[in-house]
């Protein structure tokens, strides 16, 4: 149920301009108790998606309760006030043909479901029940504790996944953003019922929650009346604060020596200009696309196709409220680790030294803006965009984001590259059968 851890009209070709699509226009309202409601009407659909996002995650934890947000997300599926068992929760959605799930990330937790539109009341009810009215029984805590400990071990046995956590740890050192979302074993073993109650009371408040409903909607007044009844017992509370990350990242290397068949690495760099509240983050989105998003990106074409050094090589962005970063993953033949890292470093230097050409830049922009158009056809993706982003401080519509992307220049990309990929900013996590980090550090220092 958990994910451990994310925007126009066609132009330039006359023949397709007639097919320019109309984007959705979400409406937003704040209820008296502080709950934000976003409605996205998609009348051509036969379904409705409820997407409830809470400002809860690993960045709102301490070392002593690290992992409690993810643990709590598991526990709420054990029973709520109206649906006392896991089976009753599941049947409430699956019994009408729907599906549902949840995930926890560094800075948010989501509960979502999709049902046939006529069951819209059930959809809203289940999302609210899970978030605000869990039973949190001691017996469920003990059973789920062992499940999460096994999930921890599963993650550690998957180096392609675990290297992401190691890179986060050194990119955001001594900060909650650098902790694993699943937490640490000592904290998970010692969490008590009172801890879950206290965390839930603090973070699961209407003022820290945003609900998106997307699809074939009933009249607005019916939705708001239903929500008023469901949340009548909830009172406004202050929004909890989060310790800001004041960095940029600083050069750091973490090596986990392990007898793996491949070497797995992740190279990262963080900068405040990539935070969700900064429109400049879209420069990072575009830079990431040029560098490592898809089979036409530089990393794939050079490191996999031309040099044959890796099976998997890609980059991704991570944007939080006040900071963000670009992270590059590679799974390589251990004997070619240094060669692959040198080839990666060459590509990073190339971005700093040479402006991106007009044709490549146009292709990257079209890749992003086209992907945003496809995203607009998916209610769950719309909910993610207008739910997670708005809760955490980003308020651009998809069309506005596309306009920002189209206006970015090669000079802006080069400036960000020089800042973000400077050698004193790079972090590198490696898992594999290596005895020393010295050769890895030499690559970063060149």
Q: What is the average pLDDT value for the chain, to the nearest integer?
A: 93
Report whether 352 contacts 299 (CB < 8 A). Answer: no
Among the candidates 199, 230, 261, a domain finishes at 230
Burial (CB count <10 Å: 0-12, 13-18, 19+), residue 121: middle
Q: How confident is the model at residue 18 (pLDDT cuts 50, 70, 90)?
A: very low
Q: Is the pLDDT of residue 120 over 70?
A: yes
For residues 136-141, average pLDDT = 95
pLDDT at 268 over 70: yes
| Residue 245: inside a domain | no
Asked whether residue 223 falls in the same domain as residue 345, the answer is: no
Alpha helices for 231-378 (secondary structure H): 281-292, 298-299, 337-353, 358-375
Residues 267 and 205 in one domain: no
The answer to whether residues 209 and 284 belong to one domain is no
The answer on 190 and 44 residing in a single domain is yes
Does any domain span residue 238?
no
pLDDT at 279: 95
Local structure of residue 76 (DSSP, 8 states): G
Residue 395 has pLDDT above 90, yes or no: yes
Residue 22's domain comprises 14-230
Q: What is the distance between the alpha carbons of residues 362 and 357, in angstroms, rounded to a whole number?
A: 9
Residue 414: how many other CB atoms lie within 10 Å: 17
- Residue 226 shares a structural domain with residue 258: no
CB 132 within 8 A of CB 109: no
Claim to verify: residue 37 and residue 137 sit in the same structural domain: yes
Q: What pLDDT sits at residue 8?
A: 27
pLDDT band at 240 (very low <50, low <70, confident <90, very high): confident
CB 427 within 8 A of CB 267: yes
Q: Please answer whether residues 398 and 410 qualify as being in contact, where contact means their C-beta atoms are separated by less than 8 angstroms.
A: no
Contact 276, 393 (CB under 8 A): yes
- On whether residue 1 sits in a domain, the answer given is no
| Together in a domain, 194 and 307 | no
Residues 267 and 374 in one domain: yes
The strands making up 27-30's β-sheet, listed across from edge to edge, are 27-30, 36-41, 209-215, 47-54, 109-116, 99-104
Please check whether residue 16 is in contact with residue 22, taking contact to mean a CB–CB distance below 8 angstroms.
no
Percent residues over pLDDT 90 in the chain: 91
Q: Is the pLDDT of residue 108 over 70?
A: yes
* pLDDT beyond 80 at 304: yes
In a shared domain, residues 226 and 271:
no
Q: Is the pLDDT of residue 223 over 60?
A: yes
Whether residue 300 is found in the same domain as residue 217: no
CA separation, residue 384 to residues 241, 392, 399 (Å) = 22, 12, 15
* 446 pLDDT tier (thresholds 50, 70, 90): confident
**Maximum distance among all Cα pairs of the chain, rounded to whole angstroms:** 65
Q: Please indicate, yes or no, if residue 89 is contained in any of the structural domains.
A: yes
Query: Do 265 and 327 sit in the same domain of this protein?
Result: yes
CA nearest 341: which of 427, 274, 433, 249? 427
Residue 422, in any domain of the structure: yes
| pLDDT for residue 14 | 34
293 and 186 part of one domain: no
DSSP assignment, residue 134? B
Looking at the predicted structure, is the pLDDT value of residue 124 above 60? Answer: yes
The span from the CA of 434 to the CA of 335, in Å, is: 10
Structure confidence at residue 19 (pLDDT): 36
**pLDDT per residue over 434-445, tens digit each?**
999 999 999 999
Q: 269-297: per-residue pLDDT in tens?
A: 999 999 999 999 999 999 999 999 999 99
Quote the pLDDT of residue 13: 33
Helices then strands, each counted (H, E), the chain: 17, 11
- Residue 8 maps to a domain: no
Which domain CATH number covers 145? 3.30.830.10
User: Helix (H, G, I), strand (E, B), or coil: what is residue 444?
Assistant: helix
Number of structural domains found in the chain = 2
Residue 303 has pLDDT above 50, yes or no: yes
Nearest to 277 by CA among 238, 324, 241, 312: 324
Q: What is the pLDDT of residues 142-196, one digit of tens each?
A: 999 999 999 999 999 999 999 999 999 999 999 999 999 999 999 999 999 999 9
Residues 99 and 114: their CA atoms lie apart, in Å, by 6
Q: pLDDT per residue over 325-356, tens digit each?
A: 999 999 999 999 999 999 999 999 999 999 99
């Amino acid at each position: 149920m958990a994910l451990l851890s994310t925007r126009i009209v066609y132009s330039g070709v006359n023949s397709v301009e007639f097919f320019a699509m109309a984007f959705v226009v979400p409406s937003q309202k704040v209820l008296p108790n502080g709950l934000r409601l976003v409605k996205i009407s998609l009348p051509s659909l036969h379904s409705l998606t409820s997407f409830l996002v809470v400002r809860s995650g690993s960045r709102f934890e301490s070392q002593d309760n690290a992992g409690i947000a993810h643990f709590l997300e598991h526990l709420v599926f054990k029973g709520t006030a109206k649906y006392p068992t896991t089976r009753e929760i599941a049947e409430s959605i699956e019994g009408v043909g729907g599906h549902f799930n949840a995930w926890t990330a560094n800075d948010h937790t989501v509960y979502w479901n999709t049902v046939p539109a006529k069951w819209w009341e059930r959809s809203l009810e289940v999302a609210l029940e899970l978030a605000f009215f869990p039973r949190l029984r001691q017996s469920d805590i003990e059973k789920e504790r062992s499940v999460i400990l096994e999930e921890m071990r599963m993650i550690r046995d998957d180096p392609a996944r675990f290297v992401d956590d190691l890179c986060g740890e050194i990119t955001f050192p001594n900060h909650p953003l650098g902790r694993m979302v699943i937490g640490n074993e000592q904290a998970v073993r010692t969490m008590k019922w009172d801890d879950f109650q206290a965390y839930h009371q603090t973070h699961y408040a209407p003022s820290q929650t945003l609900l998106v409903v997307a699809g074939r909607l009933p009249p607005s007044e019916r939705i708001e009346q239903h929500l008023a009844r469901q949340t009548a017992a909830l009172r406004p509370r202050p929004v909890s604060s989060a310790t800001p990350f004041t960095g940029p990242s600083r050069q750091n290397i973490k090596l986990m020596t392990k007898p793996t068949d491949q070497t797995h690495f992740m190279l990262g760099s963080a900068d405040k200009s990539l935070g969700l509240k900064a429109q400049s983050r879209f420069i990072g989105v575009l830079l990431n696309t040029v560098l490592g998003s898809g089979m036409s990106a530089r990393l794939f074409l050079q490191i996999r196709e031309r040099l044959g050094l890796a099976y998997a090589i890609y980059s991704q962005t991570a944007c939080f409220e006040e900071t963000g970063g670009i992270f590059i993953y590679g799974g390589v033949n251990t004997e070619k680790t240094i060669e692959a890292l040198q080839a990666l470093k060459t590509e990073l230097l190339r971005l700093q030294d040479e402006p991106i050409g007009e044709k490549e830049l146009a292709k990257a922009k079209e890749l992003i803006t086209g992907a945003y158009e496809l995203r607009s056809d998916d209610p769950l993706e719309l909910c993610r965009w207008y739910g997670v982003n708005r809760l955490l401080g980003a308020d651009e519509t998809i069309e506005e984001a596309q306009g920002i992307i189209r206006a970015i220049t090669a000079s802006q990309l080069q400036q960000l590259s020089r800042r973000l990929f400077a050698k004193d900013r790079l972090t590198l996590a490696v898992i594999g059968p290596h005895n020393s980090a010295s050769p890895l550090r030499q690559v970063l220092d060149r």
